[in-house]
Structure 1
Amino acid sequence: MMNPDALSTFFAVIAERLPACGNEVRRVFHGRGRCYEGLEQITADWLGSGVLQIAIFKEDEAAFYGALKQGITEFQHGDVWKEVGGNTIVVQHRDREGAETETFVGEQPQQINVVENGLTYKLDLGKRQNNGLFLDMRLGREWVQNNAKHKRVLNLFAYTCGFSVAAIEGKADQVVNLDMARSSLSRGRENHQLNQHNLNQVAFLGHELFKSWGKVKKYGPYDLVIIDPPSFQKGSFVLTKDYAKILRRLPELVVEGGDVLACVNSPDIQPSFLTEQMVECAPAFEFVSRLDNPPEFEDIDADSALKVMHFRHSAR
């Protein structure tokens, strides 16, 4: 259980971080990194346009919810909320089936356009568990934008195509997005359009990966491959079992000197999982570095946090 008395720290951290966000989307409190005792199951994201979204991940006692409601009431009347132009505070209940969203201040928009690193993405609020952009991958998207110039990019498990948007903005020649959820790819198309990108440079493949290697190879070979899978996707992907199947295909997909970003976001999987699997399944790919995570996603154990590992296809 979380500690209602610790909520003073929760709101103090948010108040300290909000003014620096401007209109950019940003995590402003990350309890799940276990750096704040008594607040391990709560986060807060500033979405810009005056919207603060709080999320609770595990059911708690009535006293905590009461204290949170009181804290929100006090916070909305404070100087920082006025300074940043705040108008809406919602609480997403990831602690309840359906992940329902409560509106505590203002009116909840069903959709909102957010800005990250100057790029625009459309998010859904109150409809589903994930709103359309994983904020802990901010520096990963920035790395892709900075390293995509004149490259052919393959974006596996593309979701709403955040990496693709970053790559095209970074002047990639071509991006191929693959995801079995066609609705996510449709949102990815919208995200590109929001940024006035040329869709002739972007392909959207709504297929299950392991049945579609022929289609994927047809667009290659690639200078950069991004692998950012879910830990578990019923009937299609189990990370610990299926990641190796992707890595074994890399030599035929990636040009010599090409790059791979291999990602894992399961707290139970160590970084060594990826480096060891790469040695076993694709030994021509050398480990270069692990990308930093955004500082706002502080974690008591770095190996439990998001792992974004950079490998390069060495010429031998």
Structure 2
Amino acid sequence: MMKPDALKIFFEVIADRIAACGDEVRRVFHGRGRCYEGLEQITADWLGNGVLQIAIFKEDEPEFYTALRDGVSQFCQSDVWRKVGGKTVVVQHRDREGAETETLMGEMPFQINVVENGLSYTLDLGKRQNNGLFLDMRLGRQWVQENAAHKCVLNLFAYTCGFSVAAVDGGADKVVNLDMARSSLSRGRENHQLNQHNLNKVSFLGHELFKSWGKVKKNGPYDLVIIDPPSFQKGSFVLTKDYAKILRRLPELVSEGGDVLACVNAPDVKPSFLEEQMAEFAPQFVFVSRLENPPEFEDIDTDSALKVMHFKRQD
């Protein structure tokens, strides 16, 4: 259980970080990294537009929720909150059915446009567990933005096409997005339109990957392949079993000298997993580096945090 008394630290950290965010979306408290005793199941994200979203990942005692509501009330009377133009505080209960969201202050916008690295994305609030942008991948999208010029890019498990938006902004000649959730790809199309991108450069394939290798290969070869799968997706993907199926295909998908950004966000899977799997199933690809995670996602164990690994083809 979390500790109501520890919420003093929670609001102190938010107050220290929120002013530096400006209008950009940022994680401003990350208890999930286990760096704050008694606050391991709570996070907070500044969405800009005056909106602070708190998430709780495990049901707690009534005393904790009372202390949280009191703390929010006090925080919303602070000079920091006024200076950042704070309007709304919502709490998403990730542990409850439907990820129930309640409003503690102001009015919750059910849809909001946020800005990250100068690019805009539309998020949904109060509808589902994930709102449309994984904030821990901020530096991964920045890397793509900085390394996509004149490249043909394949974005696997594209979700709402955050990597694609970053790639087109970075000057990619072509991006192919693949995801079995067509509704997510539709939001991805909207994200590109929000940034006034030329959609002639972008393809959206609403297919299950392992049944669509022909379509994927037809659009290649690719200079950059991004693999950012879920850890587990019932009936379609189990990371520890199915990642190898993708890596085996890389030699026929990636051009000579091409890059692969391979990602894992399962705490119990170590960075060595990707290096070992690549060495076994696609030895043409040499490990270059692991990208840094955003500093706001501090973690007591870096091996448990998000793994974003850069490989390069060297035949």
TM-score range, shorter chain: over 0.9
Deviation >3 Å, runs of 4+: none
Where does residue 185 of structure 1 map in the other structure?
A: 185
Aligned 1:72-111 pairs, distance under 5 A: 72-111=72-111
Structure 2: distance between partners of 1:216 and 1:38: 46
1:135-185 Cα deviation digits (max 9, x unpaired): 000000000000000000000000000000000000000000000000000
User: Which residue is equivalent to 2:295?
Assistant: 295
Alignment of 1:161-200 (within 5 A): 161-200=161-200
Instruction: Write the distance in 1 (CA, Å) between the matches of 2:14 and 2:101.
Output: 20
In 1, the alpha carbon distance for the partners of 2:205 and 2:301 equals: 36
Q: Tell me if 1:69 matches 2:102.
A: no
Shift of 1:17: 0.3
The alignment partner of 1:302 has SS state of coil
Normalising by structure 1, we get a TM-score of 0.99
Which residue does 2:308 correspond to in 1?
308
Matched with 2:124 is 124
One-letter code aligned to 2:220:
G
User: What amino acid sits opposite 1:162 in the alignment?
Assistant: G
| Other-structure match for 1:250 | 250
Alpha carbon RMSD of aligned pairs, Å?
0.3
- In 1, the alpha carbon distance for the partners of 2:283 and 2:117 equals 35
The letter of the residue matching 1:100 is E
Q: Say yes or no: does 1:145 pair with 2:141.
A: no
Q: Distance in 1 between matches of 2:190 and 2:51?
A: 21
The C-alpha deviation readout for 1:260-285, integer Å capped at 9, x for no partner, is 00000000100000000000000000
After the TM superposition, which residues 275-294 of structure 1 pair with which residues of structure 2 at under 5 Å, given as runs? 275-294=275-294
Equivalent position of 1:238 in the other structure: 238
Q: Counterpart amino acid of 1:225? A: V
Residue 229 of structure 1 corresponds to: 229
| 2:75 is aligned with 1:59 | no
TM-score, normalised relative to structure 2: 1.00
2:199 is matched by which residue type in structure 1?
A: L
* C-alpha separation in 2, matches of 1:114 and 1:91: 18
Q: Deviations over 1:60-115 (max 9, x none)?
A: 00000000000000000011000100000000000211101000110000000000
Mapping 1:260-271, distance limit 5 Å? 260-271=260-271
The answer as to 2:277 corresponding to 1:274 is: no
Secondary structure in 2 aligned to 1:9?
Answer: helix
Amino acid at match of 1:50: G
SS in 2 for 1:103: strand
How many residue pairs were aligned? 315
User: Could you tell me which residue of structure 2 aligns to residue 33 of structure 1?
Assistant: 33
Structure-to-structure mapping, 1:203-222, within 5 angstroms: 203-222=203-222
* Distance across 1 between alignment mates of 2:237 and 2:82: 46
Where 1:188 maps in the other structure, the secondary structure is helix
Secondary structure in structure 2 of the residue aligned to 1:243: helix
Unpaired segments ≥5 residues, structure 1: none
Letter of the structure 2 residue corresponding to residue 25 of structure 1 = V
Distance 2:102 2:233 in 1: 28
**Paired amino acid for 1:40:** E
Determine the C-alpha separation between the residues in 2 that align with 1:204 and 1:16: 40
Distance 1:299 1:110 in 2: 30
Instruction: Quote the sequence identity (%).
Output: 82
Q: Which runs of 5+ in 2 are unaligned?
A: none
User: 2:109, 2:95 → 1: CA distance?
Assistant: 21
Map of 1:157 onto structure 2: 157
